[in-house]
Structure 1
């Protein structure tokens, strides 16, 4: 049985879903939280989360380098439920990243996830380096979510 081409991490945040949504869908704030993406900005006239909106993320791979800009396009935008974007070019998506939100009592369960496109080159990459990269991604997602949690809970 093959392993999925991706992973996810969930954290419960003691904040209402509308506040969590406002944070996870504001790509310009990702640099405050992510260990790899240290800044992002909306592009091509996009100003906020909507399907088709575009932005660029400035990434320092593994937190040490190389450093590069990644083009992104919002692929799912369901306010207070799902925010997802594809990373790649206008014609080729490599990875999808996203956040799922679920109200949970007085707080919100937020899940950050990623999945690689199931193309042959990415399947081969995942076969060889998937376990290592998957662990790195999961550590990064946990760090991102814990930092978001701290900010959201301090703002209460």
Structure 2
């Protein structure tokens, strides 16, 4: 039996801040450019103006921090204040992957976990099997960078 590689990963960082304070950062997509090494700006779209399930936004991405830029359409799929903020990336008919943040009150602060999960289609399985180790490593570094930058802001 062939074991397929996991189609996602996660990184956690403890922050000396309340879940409410961390929530304000992870759920405000217009601030992602301050933290992410790849998504340098984002804005709410289609009449959406803040975090809620079903809200739309788009992120302006420069893959690996180099090369051409592109806009990715996103839709908030889970939004529980101070607990989870998750969104899908793709189009109205196709979701390519999902990204999110889980918050857990812990030791007087918040354990923040950023995660991604590719949709299990044949193209993503082939891509991930062939190149997943490279993209996964980049994603892990990017998630850690994003969380460490958020940590610096909330712990000021």
Q: TM-score range by the shorter chain?
A: over 0.9
- Give, in whole Å, the separation in 2 of the partners of 1:133 and 1:89: 21
In the alignment, is the contact (CA less than 8 A) between 2:35 and 2:145 conserved in 1?
yes
Tell me the equivalent position of 2:96: 94
Deviations 1:63-113 (A, max 9, x none): 002210000000000111110000000110001000000000210000000
Q: Counterparts in 2 of 1:1-156, with a 5 A limit?
A: 1-154=3-156
Q: How many aligned residue pairs are there? A: 154
- Give, in whole Å, the separation in 1 of the partners of 2:106 and 2:77: 25
- Give, in whole Å, the separation in 1 of the partners of 2:84 and 2:105: 12
In the alignment, is the contact (CA less than 8 A) between 2:4 and 2:129 conserved in 1?
no
RMSD of the TM alignment (CA)? 0.6
In the alignment, is the contact (CA less than 8 A) between 2:45 and 2:57 conserved in 1?
yes
Query: TM-score, normalized by length of structure 2?
Result: 0.97
The runs of 5 or more residues in structure 1 that have no matched partner are none
Secondary structure, aligned partner of 1:34: coil
- Give, in whole Å, the separation in 2 of the partners of 1:65 and 1:102: 36
The runs of 5 or more residues in structure 2 that have no matched partner are none
- Give, in whole Å, the separation in 2 of the partners of 1:62 and 1:117: 21
Secondary structure, aligned partner of 1:65: coil
